[in-house]
Structures are given as C-alpha cells and as structure tokens.
Amino acid sequence: MSATALDGDQPTTSDTLLSAMDLRKSFGHTTALDRAGITVARGEIVAIMGPSGSGKSTLLHCLAGLVTPDSGTVLFEGQDLADLSDRARSALRRGEFGFIFQFGQLVPELSCVENVALPLRLAGTRRRVAEARAREWLARLEVEQIADKRPGDVSGGQGQRVAVARALVTAPKVVFADEPTGALDSFSGEQVMRLLVDTAKQTGASLVLVTHEARVAAYSDREVVVRDGRTRQRAEVS
C-alpha cells in the first residue's frame, strides 16, 4: 500500500464541462469562499458536501453565474463567465443550465404542467408543444397524475419531482441542485434522488449536487468537500 497525495478534485473522465479555480467571495465581513475550486466532467455527478455555512451554496451560485466571485475564474466549456455580458450569461443559464432548490421554486399560480413548460415557453416554444413535452417529463418522473394541480396542492416529494422535470425539460448540459431533498422525509428524498440521478444519466447532463447529507451524496460519482469556504484537497491512500 502506498500513500500518494492526490488532488481530491479529479474528475472521473477528462472531458471537462465546468471548472472553477481559486474562487473568493465575501459578503461584508463574512468570507464565504476562500480559494475554492472544483472541476465537473461532462455527464458527471459531483456532490458538494460540507457543514452548514461552509460555502456550498455560494460555490454553486458562482458556478452557475448567479453570483460573481470577488476573484477567481469559472469556465463553462472553456468560456470564462466573467467575459460574458449579463445578457449572454442569462441566455447561458436559460439554455444550458437547470436549477433545483430545496423548495419554493415553482410558481404557485401555475399548474404543475405549466410550471414544467415555463422554461420552454420563455425560450419561445409554442404552448401546445411545450405542455406536451412537460407532460412527458412529468410521466418520466412518475407524477403525471398531478399535472393539472397547483404546486400548493401536491406533496413535498411530488413538488420536487416537478422541479426536477422543470430543470431537465430544456435538455440542459448541467443541472445545479441545492439541497434538493432537504425538506423531504427519507423515503420521498430517496425517490427524488433516484429519479434525478437516473434522468440526468439518461440525458447525459452533468449534475452538481449540494448536500450536507451523506446518503444523498452517495448518489454522486464523486464528492468535493467544502470547509470554511475552502475545498479540501484530500490526501488519499491508494
């Protein structure tokens, strides 16, 4: 047995989709990120783990272009997000990224199928076509029966499956999920994870999954641990 110092953040394939280097971000006097880095390969599922307040969400937001780091670089398909105009960055988010949050992301006034169709509608797809696609996605997530209900009238687990459908309906290259099962009981959480991981794998989308729960992280291909705003470089025994 030989002990080799390895970078804890090595993608499982070399085909990099998204990477971040040396990210720093402060909010007032609070340092949220302090030289954080991550690499995500095409089709790879990476879990970002760490205790509450360690900077996981801030890292995710920087990767997704929702937050601009104070310094450091985020590259998506080799393109530096900082070089894009706000408008180009929004277009990238709408076209190539999908998002899933813990809760509260569905529009309460719209039915579930309208919620899933919304990203397509915003991209200019005609209503009938968009809603037909949305229904297919709801079926894939095993919630076609609630298509015409409002989000307020479905269970937490069903709502999260709708959110997964909405994130994937545009065939994004990467899905960002921040504690997607954080508000669910173990059983619904497992179902959501299974469906999320299956559909991401089937569509070839990468998944960046923020979670503080190990059972959720166990669905990933690889984990990156954040502590005090820093991604841990792990010394691995091989």
Ligand X SMILES: Nc1ncnc2c1ncn2[C@@H]1O[C@H](COP(=O)(O)OP(=O)(O)O)[C@@H](O)[C@H]1O
Contact between 221 and 46 under an 8 Å Cβ cutoff? The reply is yes
Q: How far is CA 141 from the centre of its chain?
A: 17
Token readout for 174 is: 């990467």
Site for ligand X in 35-74 (CB under 6 A): 50, 52-58
Strand positions, DSSP E, the chain: 3-5, 16-27, 30-41, 45-49, 71-76, 79-80, 97-100, 174-178, 206-210, 222-227, 230-231, 235-237
**Partner whose binding site includes residue 101, from ligand X, Mg ion, another protein, none (CB under 5 to 8 Å by kind):** none
Q: Which of 7, 194, 202, 204 binds another protein (CB under 8 A)?
A: 194
Positive or negative torsion for Cα 41, 61, 141, 51: positive
**Does 214 engage in binding with another protein (CB under 8 A)?**
yes
The minimum distance between CB 234 and another protein, in angstroms, equals 5
Positive or negative torsion for Cα 119, 121, 124, 125: positive
Q: What is the contact mask toward another protein in residues 172 to 191, using x (rule: CB under 8 A)?
A: --------------------
**Does 223 engage in binding with another protein (CB under 8 A)?**
yes
**Does 54 engage in binding with Mg ion (CB under 5 A)?**
no
CA angle at 20 for the pair 15 and 23, rounded to the nearest 5°:
170
Q: Which of 7, 22, 142, 236 binds another protein (CB under 8 A)?
A: 236
**Does 57 engage in binding with Mg ion (CB under 5 A)?**
yes
Nearer to another protein by Cβ, of 112 and 217: the residue is: 217
Q: Which strands form 30-41's sheet, in the order they lie side by side? A: 30-41, 16-27, 71-76, 79-80
Q: What is the contact mask toward another protein in residues 19 to 58, using x (rule: CB under 8 A)?
A: --------------------------------x-------
**Partner whose binding site includes residue 232, from Mg ion, ligand X, another protein, none (CB under 5 to 8 Å by kind):** another protein
Nearer to another protein by Cβ, of 126 and 215: the residue is: 215
Give the β-pairing of 71-76 and 235-237.
Answer: unpaired
* Contact positions vs Mg ion (CB under 5 A): 57
* Contact positions vs another protein (CB under 8 A): 8, 51, 194, 212-215, 217-220, 223, 225, 227, 232, 234-237
